[in-house]
Amino acid sequence: MSQATSVPSHEHHEHAHPPGLQHHFTDMKQQFEASKIGMWLFLVTEVLLFGGLFVGYGIMHSKHPEAFIAAHSHLDWRLGALNTIILLVSSFTMVMGVWAAQTGQKQKLIGYLTTTFVLAGAFMVVKYFEYSHKFHEGLLPGKFYAHQGDTVPGQFMFFSFYFMMTGLHGIHVLLGMVAIAWLIYRASKGHFSSQYYGPVDMVGLYWHLVDLIWIYLFPLMYLLS
Amino acid sequence: MEHTHEHDHHITGPKTYLAVIGALLVLTIITVWVAQFDFGAANTVVALLVASFKGALVALYFMHLRHDKFNAVIFVGGLLFLGVFLIFSLFDISTRQTVLPSNLKEPVQAFPGAPLGKPVQPSTGMPKGQAPSMPQ
Amino acid sequence: MAQENVLQANGHSAGAHLDYLDSSKGLWSWMSTVDHKRIGLMYLWSVVLFMIVGGLLALLIRMELLTPGPTIMDAETYNRAFTLHGAVMVFLVIIPGIPAALGNFALPLLLGAKDVAFPRLNLTSYWIYVFGALMALSTLVLGGVDTGWTFYTPYSSTTGGGVSMMVLAAFVLGFSSIFTGVNFIATIHKMRAPGMGWFELPLFAWGMYATALIQILATPVLGITLLLLVMERVLSVGIFDPNLGGDPVLFQHFFWFYSHPAVYIMILPAMAIISEVIPVFSKKTIFGYKAIAFSSVAIALLGFLVWAHHMFTAGMSLFAGAIFSFITFFIAVPSAIKVFNWIATMWRGSISMKAPMIHAVNFLLIFTIGGLTGLFLAALSTDVHLHDTYFVVAHFHYVMAGSNLIALLAGLHYWWPKMFGRMYNEKLAAIAAALIFIGFNATFLPQFLMGSRGMPRRYYNYLEQFQTMHVLSTIGSWILAVGLFLCLGVLLASLRGKKNASANPWGGKTLEWQAASPPITHNFEDTPVMIHGPYDYRPQPVPVAVEREQGVSH
């Protein structure tokens, strides 16, 4: 969606357009507001996509509470908390990036975006260690579950949801990293100004949503009791 | 609060953002802290309440919904429909009665295809003893 | 795109005033276009192509059912044929049919805009659609799919064949649908012509808005449902598998949370077209503008609260059944409001029975039959008798196929002069419309009868006593096919002639008729301003501004 605002201006007809304005919009305000509505609608679809998993998780959890509680103790809540903090701080650096763009500070914008990118990478590194530990223990989804010495049946289902939900979330983090890298590239080319910062704002919204989903995943996955 | 003349949007400053991230980190500690207590059935509710408080901070300040009424309506509308999905599904799930077929005396165990310590055996779509069709 | 820029750079050269069909040449200029009108046409031809595929499958199915027992194919092939027919018709024809094809073409014109809000997203959505369609058709070589288009578990998670591919195809097609929805909502909010308030919006735009709401709110849930089904097949995650502590009926909740609102994705655009056609050919202001506009939104929102009426006999709790049955009856109200308003619009109007209007009147009849028979199925007790019989098949074909298809044809005949600048042969178009109406009813009315007498749906074989009605139904399908091919032939034949359509051949009052036929690439020479209401057929139309002040209603 953010691409909608990204076309270099077309010189056409008599009137000159400000840079970043597409031909079919009247002015920057119309373009900015339209892309913002589009972005929020897209975020709603993301919420409902994850929402389906949350509803499935909730219903299966209420159906098999013992299995879910027994299974969650295989997760290390400290790693989950660490990742929560990493994502929250990255959300903060992202919003500071938006502020830097709004106030036209190019160097600060690049700095904040790079920090966000590094934090997102750190999140994925922690995730990698978590996943490889689970793989090693045989704590795998569905029919691949091979953990020995369980005392409560049905723990595979918790890991089905664990991998589907954190996996889908991880894919979103990776896509976010691609988008942020694209912003860093464009910012270094000097594309953004206090008049035109739509793409930074849109990617920012997306990044906060990724953070928002993790805020719910953390207690539901790591802190069951 | 400054205004840019072009967009007429509020620009929130770094001070506010610092305060919000501080609050979010404190709330993360609270999330972990409340998880140690046993509120019985309300455990999940308490955890979700704290998470929602954090989520509201992110949405209102980082995502600027405080100054963006229209898009706030879109977002909250989406959440409402998620609520409809959950609650209306629960109308069924939570009020279902167990009806036993005549050849069963008691309900089957929770995970008939995954007894303790055995590999997980999904349904095959075939009666017992017949070769499963190949799912792929 | 590049060529377009050259033309724009030339400013007032002759090229800038060429219509959108001729403004640039070559296949690539179409494949890479961001012009909503061209994207609309590409959708249109794709939809027509897949409608022919799905229609031929339907003819084969009907042929097989001509006699009890094997007629032309074996049972396995039959199962795959009806599944592919359902999947192709639902995901490739009906859902994108009106919104993506006609909506893309007409919506910006109706709003007086240069384009949709996100033209490149629009093009992306088209290519995603093509990709998804290829995925869906590739199941033919992967061994076919025999689950029915609803993919019910646990059968779909255990049977072989190309189920995963078909399910992923539907997932991909969902993105296309979502992008169209996002585009339309942003367009209607932000791209309206100066002077066009919410209640000067053409009703087509209201219908598209309601449709887009559903596309955005429901499609993601289908996406995750289908992903869960694939995960169930690949990993056996357990959520829908009773053997692993899961709940197969939960799949039906997930599936119908999307797919019931999706039937309103199919019918709301149809209603939207009818709301445009009827006032124009009755030369009369639409009756109850606000009632029609709000009932569109009401249908869209209420449509989310009724999904489990597909599951009354699936083992759902009686409590939930009662709630869903109760709410389902309510959704008949806004639908009926619309029908009454259309009839009131026609009353004492100066009706001209041109091809679009013939289709619109056919729509009224077919939609009423389809809607009323829905009430039988909404009632808990009668549904136990009628569930999974041909009564259901006939009901949803009346609503999804009949109403949607005939409205699509109404819209196509209505906007055809605008699309291509050519008039078609009126008389032959009217004959085709009559054949389609007769053929459709001959196909599906007998199915109500045999369904109520117990003929189950999706069965390969049947009892002797049902044969007369099956034969009637099969003959009906031939008449329907002849009508549809005649209709297509009449429209295509018009393309061979000269561009002979005037800018406003029907005397419509909405903004698209102010553009040339066919329009230039940027639609209007000058941005149009809304001067009078979209359906203001009074001898001297009252200016919008005055009307707003005086509070005159439409």
pLDDT in tens, A155-168: 999 999 999 999 99
Q: CA separation (Å) from C57 to A184, C64, C162?
A: 52, 11, 18
Most B-contacting residue of C190, C243, C249 (CB-CB within 10 A), to test interface: C243
Nearest residue on chain B to A194, alpha-carbon basis: B4
pLDDT of residue C552: 47
What is the distance between the alpha carbons of residues C198 and C202, in angstroms, rounded to a whole number? 9
What is the CATH number that goes with domain A26-222?
A: 1.20.120.80
pLDDT-derived band of residue B131, with 50, 70 and 90 as boundaries?
Answer: low
Contact criterion met (CB below 8 Å) for B79 and A47: yes
Give the number of other Cβ atoms within 10 Å of residue C134's Cβ.
Answer: 11
- DSSP, res C523: B
What is the distance between the alpha carbons of residues A202 and A185, in angstroms, rounded to a whole number? 16
The DSSP-derived string for chain A is -GGGG-PPPPP-SSSPPPTT--TT-SSHHHHHHHHHHHHHHHHHHHHHHHHHHHHHHHHHHHHSHHHHHHHHTTS-HHHHHHHHHHHHHHHHHHHHHHHHHHTT-HHHHHHHHHHHHHHHHHHHHHHHHHHHHHHHHT--SGGG---SS-SSTTHHHHHHHHHHHHHHHHHHHHHHHHHHHHHHHHHHTT---SS--HHHHHHHHHHHHHHHHHHHHHHHHH---
Quick check: B88 and C305 CB within 8 A? yes
If residue B3 lies in a helix (H) or strand (E), which one and from where to where? strand B2-3
CA atoms within 13 A on the CB side of C77: 12
pLDDT-derived band of residue B129, with 50, 70 and 90 as boundaries?
Answer: low
pLDDT of residue A58: 93
Q: Would you list the domain boundaries of chain B? A: 2-63, 68-97
Quick check: A143 and B44 CB within 8 A? no
What is the distance between the alpha carbons of residues C103 and C187, in angstroms, rounded to a whole number? 12
Residues of A in contact with C113 (CB under 8 A): 24
Q: Is B95 on the interface with C (CB under 8 A)?
A: yes
Residue with tokens 């050849």: B103
pLDDT of residue C1: 38
- The nearest CA of chain B is from the CA of C245 a distance in Å of 5
> In angstroms, what is the C-alpha Rg of chain A?
21
Quick check: C154 and B120 CB within 8 A? no
What is the distance between the alpha carbons of residues C387 and C394, in angstroms, rounded to a whole number? 12
Q: Quote the crossing angle between the two packed helices A155-188 and A77-102, to the nearest 10°.
A: 20
> Which structure tokens are listed for A132?
């490889």
Interface of C with A in 483-522 (CB under 8 A): 522
What is the distance between the alpha carbons of residues C209 and C184, in angstroms, rounded to a whole number? 7
Amino acid at C300: A
pLDDT of residue B8: 53
The torsion angle over the Cα atoms of residues B123, B125, B129 and B134, rounded to 10 degrees, is: -90
Cβ-nearest to A12 among C8, C185, C220:
C8
Cβ-nearest to B75 among A43, A211, A225:
A43
Residue with tokens 């399910």: C167
pLDDT of residue A76: 93
Domains of chain C: 23-546 (1.20.210.10)
pLDDT of residue B128: 62
- Interface partners of chain B (CB pairs < 8 Å, 3 or more) are A, C
What is the distance between the alpha carbons of residues C37 and C111, in angstroms, rounded to a whole number? 14
pLDDT in tens, C493-510: 999 988 888 999 999 999
Residues of B in contact with A77 (CB under 8 A): 32, 35
Quick check: C317 and B92 CB within 8 A? yes
What is the distance between the alpha carbons of residues C97 and C406, in angstroms, rounded to a whole number? 11
Q: Would you list the domain boundaries of chain A? A: 26-222
What is the distance between the alpha carbons of residues C554 and C541, in angstroms, rounded to a whole number? 11
Which residues are CB-neighbours of B128 under 8 A, at least 6 positions away?
none
Which residues are CB-neighbours of A146 under 8 A, at least 6 positions away?
A138, A140, B119
Quick check: C217 and B81 CB within 8 A? yes
Interface of A with B in 81-140 (CB under 8 A): 81, 84-85, 88-89, 91-92, 94-96, 99, 102-103
Most C-contacting residue of B79, B108, B123, B136 (CB-CB within 10 A), to test interface: B123
What is the distance between the alpha carbons of residues B114 and B120, in angstroms, rounded to a whole number? 5
Quick check: B110 and A67 CB within 8 A? yes
Which residues are CB-neighbours of B115 under 8 A, at least 6 positions away?
A153
Alpha helices, DSSP H, located in C113-195? 119-138, 155-158, 163-190
Q: Quote the crossing angle between the two packed helices A65-72 and A28-63, to the nearest 10°.
A: 110
If residue B10 lies in a helix (H) or strand (E), which one and from where to where? strand B10-11
Nearest residue on chain A to B32, alpha-carbon basis: A223
Quick check: A92 and B21 CB within 8 A? yes
Contact criterion met (CB below 8 Å) for C398 and C20: no
Residues of A in contact with B88 (CB under 8 A): none
Nearest residue on chain A to C1, alpha-carbon basis: A10
Contact criterion met (CB below 8 Å) for C220 and C199: no
B2-3 and B10-11 beta bridge pairing: antiparallel
Q: Is C247 on the interface with A (CB under 8 A)?
A: yes
Give the number of other Cβ atoms within 10 Å of residue A192's Cβ.
Answer: 23
Nearest residue on chain C to B81, alpha-carbon basis: C217
3-class DSSP state of C236: coil
Contact criterion met (CB below 8 Å) for C427 and C361: no
Q: Is A8 on the interface with C (CB under 8 A)?
A: no
Residues of C in contact with B135 (CB under 8 A): 157-160, 233
Digits of tens for pLDDT over chain C (554 positions)? Answer: 344 443 343 344 444 468 898 888 889 999 999 999 999 999 999 999 999 999 999 999 999 999 999 999 999 999 999 999 999 999 999 999 999 999 999 999 999 999 999 999 999 999 999 999 999 999 988 888 999 899 998 889 888 878 999 999 999 999 999 999 999 999 999 999 888 889 989 999 999 999 999 999 999 999 999 999 999 999 999 999 888 889 999 999 999 999 999 999 999 999 999 999 999 999 999 999 999 999 999 999 999 999 999 999 988 899 999 999 999 999 999 999 999 999 999 999 999 999 999 999 999 999 999 999 999 999 999 999 999 999 999 999 999 999 999 999 999 999 999 999 999 999 999 999 999 999 999 999 999 999 999 999 999 999 999 999 999 999 999 999 999 999 999 999 999 988 888 999 999 999 999 999 899 998 998 888 888 888 888 877 777 766 666 654 44
Cβ-nearest to B31 among A36, A194, A218:
A218
Comparison of pLDDT for C231 and B36, the residue scoring more:
C231
Contact criterion met (CB below 8 Å) for C169 and C139: yes
Cβ-nearest to B4 among A61, A92, A194:
A194
The DSSP-derived string for C14-49 is GGGGSBTTTSS-SHHHHHT---HHHHHHHHHHHHHH
Closest CA to C139 of C87, C180, C175, C195: C87
- The nearest CA of chain C is from the CA of B91 a distance in Å of 5
pLDDT of residue B37: 85
Quick check: C237 and A160 CB within 8 A? yes
What is the distance between the alpha carbons of residues C80 and C92, in angstroms, rounded to a whole number? 17
What is the distance between the alpha carbons of residues C83 and C173, in angstroms, rounded to a whole number? 17
Cβ-nearest to C244 among B95, B111, B134:
B111
To the nearest whole percent, how much of chain A has pLDDT over 90?
76
Residues of B in contact with A56 (CB under 8 A): none
> Which structure tokens are listed for C420?
């291509």
Q: What is Dmax (Cα atoms) for chain C?
A: 73
What is the distance between the alpha carbons of residues A83 and A124, in angstroms, rounded to a whole number? 9
Q: Is C245 on the interface with A (CB under 8 A)?
A: yes
Quick check: B44 and A43 CB within 8 A? no
Nearest residue on chain A to B25, alpha-carbon basis: A85
Interface of C with A in 79-118 (CB under 8 A): 113-115, 117-118
Contact criterion met (CB below 8 Å) for A173 and A191: no
Most A-contacting residue of C13, C209, C224, C259 (CB-CB within 10 A), to test interface: C224
The torsion angle over the Cα atoms of residues C367, C401, C92 and C34, rounded to 10 degrees, is: -40
Q: Quote the crossing angle between the two packed helices C248-282 and B69-93, to the nearest 10°.
A: 130
Q: Is B71 on the interface with C (CB under 8 A)?
A: no
Digits of tens for pLDDT over chain A (225 positions)? Answer: 333 333 333 434 445 567 778 888 888 888 999 999 999 999 999 999 999 999 999 999 998 999 999 999 999 999 999 999 999 999 999 999 999 999 999 999 999 999 999 999 999 999 999 999 999 999 999 889 988 888 888 899 999 999 999 999 999 999 999 999 999 999 999 999 998 999 999 999 999 999 999 999 999 999 887
Q: Is A28 on the interface with B (CB under 8 A)?
A: yes
To the nearest whole percent, how much of chain B has pLDDT over 90?
46
pLDDT of residue A120: 97
pLDDT of residue C528: 86
**Would the pLDDT of B133 be above 60?**
no
